[in-house]
Amino acid sequence: MSIVVTGATGALGRLVVEELLTTVPADRIAAVVRSKEKAADLAARGVEVRVADYDRPETLAGAFRAGDRVLMISGSEVGKRVQQHTAVIDAAKAAGVAQLAYTGVLGGPDADFLLAGEHKATEQLILDSGLPYTLLRNGWYTENYTENLAPVLEHNAVVASAGDGRVASAARADYAAAAAAVLTGDGHLNRAYELSGDVAWSLEEYAAELSRQTGRAIAYNNVPAEAHLEILSGAGLPGPFAEILVDVDAAVQRGLLARQTGDLARLAGRPTTPLAESVAAALA
């Protein structure tokens, strides 16, 4: 039996593998990746590398073994994820895995924004499969903001259409620690966890924190959704992706990403990373 992480060379996947390596022998961890070369460093540390591609179902037949505990990290290609995830679920079921954990979205069936649709469909596929499951309904990553600081610092403004909505975000490392906990611990089968940060903050507070740490006057410019869409499209984002981001801001304004359950901190075994700490790391 192995603990298997799909998308193991991605931003979240690597953090999950690193977290697992703190408590699990490397030869009990398997990394499912598209590129063997990108996982060479993991292989050098003793992690088993299994090459498979969400877009090529035939490759997934060798990705899992009977009794494996699997983390399926959601695909990144919006619009293709249900098809991709179906292939993974089918392969996991054929192999007879002991657990299929999935990184969905905060709110699960109650999330009504565009980005949630494929996650909700995937959750239903997992339930219909009959596999023992754990649903990790991840809230927003703080890095969704802090990894895109260049235009903010260029214009001294956080531009969004989220109003005074709040975001209970956490660092990717926090979500990785929670995923590792459900893959290595007991009592997590056939459960859903709503994962979010300990503190919900507004974009005005985010701008204020950026101002404090940079010594610059950085404003929060709340704009109408239509104007926000034009700004994102003008910056070169594809239309459908820009629409999703604007729709997420509308969800933030409705309070859908401000939910705080404490599940993330309990699973991770520590408080979630404060906004100020994530900002400092990004600026460094």
Q: Which residue has the tokens 């409705």?
A: 254
Do residues 117 and 247 lie in contact, with contact meaning Cβ atoms separated by under 8 Å? no
Name the E strands within 139-180: 157-160, 166-167
Do residues 99 and 183 lie in contact, with contact meaning Cβ atoms separated by under 8 Å? yes
pLDDT at 23: 96
Nearest to 136 by CA among 80, 202, 167, 180: 180
pLDDT at 129: 98
Per-residue pLDDT of the chain (284 residues; tens, 9 = 90+): 899 999 999 999 999 999 999 999 999 999 999 999 999 999 999 999 999 999 999 999 999 999 999 999 999 888 889 999 999 999 999 999 999 999 999 999 999 999 999 999 999 999 999 999 999 999 999 999 999 999 999 999 999 999 999 999 999 999 999 999 999 999 999 999 999 999 999 999 999 999 999 999 999 999 999 999 999 999 898 988 899 999 999 999 999 999 999 999 999 999 999 999 999 999 99
pLDDT at 171: 98
pLDDT at 276: 98
Measured CA angle at 58 (ends 20, 53), to 5 deg:
45
Count the alpha carbons within 13 Å of 239 in the hemisphere toward its beta carbon: 0
pLDDT at 95: 97
Q: What CA–CA distance (Å, rounded) separates 171 from 196?
A: 10
Do residues 194 and 257 lie in contact, with contact meaning Cβ atoms separated by under 8 Å? no
The tokens for 89 are 């679920």
Q: What is the pTM of this model?
A: 0.96
Q: What CA–CA distance (Å, rounded) separates 71 from 166?
A: 29
Q: What CA–CA distance (Å, rounded) separates 162 from 84?
A: 31
DSSP secondary structure code for residue 273 in this structure: P
The residue type at 40 = A
Distance from CA of residue 54 to its chain's centroid? Answer: 17
Phi-psi region of 207 (alpha: psi -120 to 50; beta: other; left: phi over 0): alpha
- Bridge partners (DSSP) listed for residue 30: 4, 48
Q: What CA–CA distance (Å, rounded) separates 4 from 91?
A: 13
Q: What CA–CA distance (Å, rounded) separates 160 from 220?
A: 8
Q: CATH number of 3-138+171-195+260-270: 3.40.50.720, 3.40.50.40, 2.40.50.140, 3.40.50.880?
A: 3.40.50.720
pLDDT at 78: 84
CA dihedral 232, 233, 234, 238 (to 10 degrees): 120
